[in-house]
């Protein structure tokens, strides 16, 4: 009997645990789900004879040590910062490991030793990173196999609200970590287009958007997603003249969000004095010129050259940023204050569903003809607990664990799913869950 | 005989060494000047019988240890990052210390021990920080003594080119560390005006300028200088409704510099790929939209809404940022590339002189009347080696060392010059060197 340890019983655990428990009957597995909240773990195991819930504190290394005993693989759904120490423990005890997180620099350093011990450490097996790698590589390899020369690669992903639940002027709600949404894009974004490098500082990011249609789901706008250049190495596209990765929102979002960026409301690097006594209106005013004769709205409109009756101001007013309501957060950064307000306004309603949208666009040359392939996926969540985000993170990771335990992975070491032995079976099985890419090819 | 060790024989050492050697005759002192470049140290000591030049490597702690032996005070003109370890050595050996640099967090931690040993560690005794503290505190204390209530305090400083050497369209040349000029203002700037906090993100900084006249030296523009709020504590102005510190440039500078900020050319956090093969024109183009049909100049004008024939574009063209000239810097950050270009264009000519400008503006209430005091100082350098910057850093520090060695400082511990026992004699003596504040008072 193979033993699987799953660390963390949060949102993404549901689909993963359901999947593993189902397979456990077929393959003779036993699953221990450990979480700081033992009740939550019990809720997910639901008394299944092949599962067990256990309390566990990530700070208690002796507890982790005994949890690891006799396990064949550890799946960590904990926040990424905990993975390095767990990886080190797995390596020491000779246990395979799997996560949906990025390969960390510390893990990179363990790579050779992991390989030498014939271990398999699977990473980047969620949706983004994860499904993005797999779906892109499947098309890239197909183009290569027929001798095509890739000329450009665009890849867009968005975690959004489903059309049936889209009832606010931002066409956006929080469907994952709010903090990551507030600080998204900070730093520089880089890509290359027809051999020309492009660098976009954060304060210009939401001015530099693309627009796209995806299947029957209407229009999206896209802003550049940090460092696209590094994906040339990940996908072995070293010489590709154009590569661009972007984040999707509904049209109109970027122009309104840009107000917060321009003002400085997304800054998470300093604390505002007396923030606990401030109102949201005063908060906005701290970023505007001193002029007691003018209302805040008018100062904002003048400062950023907005239409006082336009859509951007409508969105801002709807959020309540001009309200004389106390923030009630002490020693808060601007980003924390903005997050507090957004968390109230962008919360999911009990019946809401979220949506994951992904689209890749490839151009390639073959026999003097230019072709374009568009590969698109839209997946809508089932509920506020079985979200599209949780399902598309947990399911590919679960399938990968099955491949590992059934001996279908030939690679050893630190692995991300860019090879057919992983992406083919995982993408095929994801289709049975409705996570399916639709491909269109045309001559351009 | 008192022994003084001076570490670092760079620009600011000249006036300091000249001053100390002259006083050495009167007070029976001996001065050791140590620098990694022994020849440079010899050049500054000029064979004076009361001075000695010595080679010294800051990385060699045994050498520092033996240099410290028998010394009464150590004056460090080294880059600020070296001060903490030297301070620790001075503390251990019971030697006083003096620098022109900011009090570091590490020095703060040694404060109690320094005080317990009855040692005097003088800090912030250059021009800014230094003369700014002293000249401001002299006025603030005077207002307090007569019972006035401070309503506002503005303080501006600029290290600029002297009018007689001002012959480029930027009205600016490098008169101190170029890197600090390129990255100036990064992070958030904060101040308070009539009780309203104001926060300005870096990308808005050069839009938020003030204008002032100073004496007969014409107009200056001023942008906020980082955290003005912390000076409430430094100057004991906890409840002051308005406090603002700014950096001075000549009019027109901010609008043109803002182009670099808006593009992202001052970013020092990432390296541009293939920078060594890029031209300055290509560098600028990496920040602009892809549009091969449009020249770079036109794209820039459109992007940032500039007047194609206006002064901003004139300044940019004069710098050569549109030239097809190779950058020839490998693995360079945008800030490093910009600095390389500016260092060529903003270099001092052999006959150039620099200029330090400082102006404080106070408003206070006394007997139901509002008064305004303006205190202004302009000091012009003597040459490209005896710069205003070097003299106004080295001279107050030298005078402070005299005060220390002649027993005129009653305070012990970690000290900055905000008390009369330091600011009065130093400011008085600085006047004999032509470093003089002109005060105007009027009823408003």
Query: Using 50, 70 and 90 to split pLDDT, how confident is the model at A116?
Result: very high
Q: How far apart are CA B111 and CA B13, in angstroms?
A: 26
Count other C-beta atoms under 10 Å from residue A262's C-beta.
20
Residues B103 and B227 in one domain: no
Nearest to B204 among A199, A264, A290 (CB): A264
Identify which of B393, B412, B438, B407 has the alpha carbon closest to the alpha carbon of residue B128. Answer: B393
> Which chain B residues are Cβ-neighbours of A229 within 8 angstroms?
273
**In a shared domain, residues B40 and B102:** yes
Tell me if A410 is assigned to some domain. Answer: no
Residue where a domain stops, chosen among A74, A106, A123: A123
Distance of CA A290 to the CA centre of its chain: 40
pLDDT in tens, A145-189: 999 999 999 999 999 999 999 999 999 999 989 999 999 999 999
Number of other CB atoms surrounding residue B406 within 10 Å: 12
CA distance A92 to chain B (A): 35
Please write the tens of the pLDDT for every residue from A71-88.
Answer: 999 999 999 999 999 999
Residue A421 resides in a domain? no
**Chain B contact set for A187 (CB, 8 A):** 269-270
Shared domain check, A265 and A245: no
Angle value at C-alpha B240, between B235 and B244, nearest 5 degrees: 75
Same domain for A291 and A355, yes or no, is no
If asked whether residues A10 and A118 sit together in one domain, one would say yes
CA atoms of B400 and B233, how far apart (whole Å): 23
What region does B261 belong to: left with phi over 0, alpha with psi -120 to 50, or beta? alpha
Domain total for chain B? 3
> The domain spanning residue A106 has which CATH number?
3.40.50.720
For residues A117 and A25, state if they share a domain: yes
CB burial string A99-137: b at 16+ within 10 A, e below = bbbebbeebeebeeebbebebbbbbbbbbbbbbbbbbbb
Distance CA B349, CA B165 (A): 8
Q: Are residues B78 and B151 in the same domain?
A: no
Closest C-alpha to A206, from A178, A185, A228, A191: A185
Give the rounded percent of residues in chain B with a pLDDT score beyond 90.
99
pLDDT at A20: 98
Q: Evaluate whether residue A326 is within a structural domain.
A: yes
The verdict on A140 and A214 lying in the same domain is yes
DSSP output for B346-380: SPPPTT--EEEEEEEEEEEEETTEEEEEEEEEEEE
Q: A13 is in which domain, residue-wise?
A: 2-123
Q: Are residues A363 and A378 in the same domain?
A: yes
Please tell me which residue of chain A has the smallest CA distance to B229. A273
Would you say residue B423 lies in a domain?
Answer: no
What are the tokens at A367? Answer: 């026999």
How many percent of chain B have pLDDT more than 70?
A: 100
Round the average pLDDT of chain A to a whole number and report it.
97
Is residue A287 a part of any domain in this protein?
yes
Q: Which residues pair with A199 in a beta bridge?
A: A190
Q: What is the C-alpha radius of gyration for chain A, rounded to an integer number of angstroms?
A: 23
Using CA atoms, how far residue A216 sits from A357, A378, A444, B155, in Å, is 12, 10, 22, 60
Q: How many CB atoms lie within 10 A of CB A139?
A: 21
The CATH number that applies at residue B178 is 3.30.360.10
Q: What's the pLDDT tens digit per position in B41-59? A: 999 999 999 999 999 999 9
Mean pLDDT of B321-349: 97
ipTM of the prediction greater than 0.95, yes or no: no
Span A17-34, mean pLDDT? Answer: 97
Question: Which residues in B have their CB inside 8 Å of a CB on A?
Answer: 187-188, 190, 193-194, 196-201, 203-204, 208, 229, 262-264, 267, 269-270, 272-274, 285-287, 289-290, 292, 334
> CA-based diameter of chain B, in Å?
76
**Token pair of A107, please?**
């893990």
pLDDT of residue A319: 98
- Among B60, B88, B123, give the residue marking a domain's end: B123
Q: Is residue B335 part of a domain?
A: yes
CA distance B134 to B418: 6
DSSP E strands, A239-311: 242-249
Residue B431 placed within a domain: no
Rounded to a whole number of angstroms, the distance from the CA of A264 to the nearest CA of chain B is: 5
Q: Is residue A434 part of a domain?
A: no
From residue B174, alpha-carbon distances to A275, B218, B346, B378 in Å are 39, 20, 6, 18
The domain boundary, picked from A103, A123, A143, lies at: A123
Does A114 lie in the same domain as A20? yes
The model carries a pTM of 0.94
> What tokens does A437 get?
């890419």
pLDDT value of position A403: 98
Interface residue of A186, A197, A224 to substitute, partner B, most B CBs within 10 Å: A197
- DSSP-assigned letter for residue B411: -
Report residue A396: phi and psi, to 5°: -60, -35
**Which letter, b or e, does each residue of A310-349 get, where b requires 16 or more Cβ atoms within 10 Å of its Cβ?**
eebbebbeebebbeeeebebeebbbbbbbbbbbeeebebe
The nearest CA of chain B is from the CA of A262 a distance in Å of 8
Candidates A199, A240, A258, A289, partner chain B, best to mutate (most B CBs within 10 A): A199
Cβ-nearest to A290 among B198, B203, B334: B198
Identify the band that residue A292 occupies on the pLDDT scale cut at 50, 70 and 90: very high
| Confidence label for B234 from pLDDT (cuts 50, 70 and 90) | very high
Residues A53 and A152 in one domain: no
A105 and A145, same domain (yes or no) = no
Nearest CA in chain A to B263: A201
Q: Do A290 and B193 touch (CB under 8 A)?
A: yes
Q: Number of Cβ pairs closer than 8 Å across A and B?
A: 77
- Phi, psi dihedrals of residue A118, rounded to the nearest 5°: 60, 30
Q: What chain A residue is nearest to B288 in terms of C-alpha separation? A: A198
Q: Kindly give, in sequence order, each residue whose CB lies less than 8 Å from that of residue B76, ignoring residues fewer than 6 positions away.
A: B6, B7, B8, B82, B83, B86, B97, B98, B99, B101
Average pLDDT rounded to a whole number, residues B298-314: 98
**Position A384 confidence tier, pLDDT thresholds 50, 70, 90:** very high
* Neighbouring C-beta atoms of residue A89, cutoff 10 Å: 17
> Are residues B30 and B5 in contact, defined by beta-carbon separation less than 8 angstroms?
no
State how far the Cα of A359 lies from the Cα of A154, in Å rounded to an integer.
Answer: 8
Residue B193: per-residue pLDDT: 98
**Closest-CA distance of chain A to residue B139, Å:** 26
Supply the DSSP string of B208-230, one letter for each residue: S-EEEE-TTS-EEEEEE-SB-TT
- Select the residue of B194, B201, B264 nearest A267 (Cβ to Cβ): B201
pLDDT recorded at residue A244: 98
SS3 A303: helix
Q: What pLDDT was estimated at residue B422?
A: 98
pLDDT for the residue B72:
98
Q: Encode pLDDT of B29-40 as tens digits.
A: 999 999 999 999
CA B263 to each of CA A51, A289, B285, B333: distance values in angstroms, whole numbers, following the listed order: 56, 23, 10, 14
Residue A22 contacts by C-beta under 8 Å, 6 or more apart in sequence? Answer: none
Which pLDDT score, from 0 to 100, does residue B429 have? 98
Tokens of A77: 């759904």
Average the pLDDT over A118-129 and give the result.
Answer: 97
Smallest Cα–Cα separation from A50: which of A92, A86, A17, A97? A17
């Amino acid at each position: 009997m193979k033993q699987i340890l799953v660390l963390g019983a949060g949102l993404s655990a549901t689909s993963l645990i359901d999947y593993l428990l189902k397979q456990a009957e077929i393959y003779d597995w036993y699953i221990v789900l450990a979480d700081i909240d033992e009740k939550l773990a019990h809720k997910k195991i639901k008394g299944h004879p092949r599962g067990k819930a256990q309390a566990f504190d990530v700070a208690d290394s002796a507890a982790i040590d005994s949890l690891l005993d006799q396990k064949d693989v550890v799946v960590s759904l904990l926040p990424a910062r905990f993975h390095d120490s767990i990886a080190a423990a797995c390596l020491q005890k000779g246990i395979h490991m799997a996560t949906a997180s990025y390969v960390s620099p510390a893990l990179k350093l363990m790579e050779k030793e992991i390989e030498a011990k014939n271990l398999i450490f699977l990473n980047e097996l969620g949706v983004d990173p994860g499904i993005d790698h797999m779906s892109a590589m499947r098309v890239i390899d197909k183009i290569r196999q027929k001798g095509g020369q890739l000329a450009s690669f665009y890849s867009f992903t968005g975690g959004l609200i489903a059309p049936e639940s889209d009832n606010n002027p931002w066409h956006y709600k929080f469907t994952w970590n709010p903090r990551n949404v507030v600080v998204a894009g900070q730093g520089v974004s880089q890509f290359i287009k027809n051999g020309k490098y492009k660098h976009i500082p954060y304060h210009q990011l939401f001015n530099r958007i693309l627009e796209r249609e995806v299947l029957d789901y209407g229009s999206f706008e896209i802003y550049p997603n940090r460092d696209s250049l590094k994906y040339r190495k990940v996908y072995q596209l070293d010489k590709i003249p154009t590569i661009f990765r972007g984040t999707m929102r509904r049209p109109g979002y970027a122009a309104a969000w840009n107000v917060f960026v321009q003002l400085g409301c997304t800054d998470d690097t300093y604390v505002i004095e007396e923030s606990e006594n401030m109102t949201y209106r005063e908060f906005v005013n701290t970023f505007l010129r001193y002029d007691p004769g003018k209302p805040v709205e008018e100062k904002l409109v003048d400062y950023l050259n907005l239409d006082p009756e336009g859509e951007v101001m409508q969105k801002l007013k709807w959020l309540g940023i001009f309200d004389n309501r106390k923030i009630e957060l002490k020693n808060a950064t601007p980003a924390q204050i903005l997050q507090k307000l957004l968390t109230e306004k962008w919360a999911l309603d009990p019946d809401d569903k979220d949506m994951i949208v992904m689209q890749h666009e490839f151009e390639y040359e073959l026999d003097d003809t230019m072709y374009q392939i568009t590969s698109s996926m839209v997946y809508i969540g089932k509920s506020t607990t079985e979200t599209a985000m949780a399902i598309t993170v947990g399911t590919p990771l679960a399938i990968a664990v099955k491949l590992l335990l059934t001996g279908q992975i030939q690679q050893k070491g630190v692995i991300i799913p860019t090879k057919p032995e992983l992406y083919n079976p995982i993408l095929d099985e994801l289709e049975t869950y409705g996570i399916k890419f639709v491909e269109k090819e045309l001559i351009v």
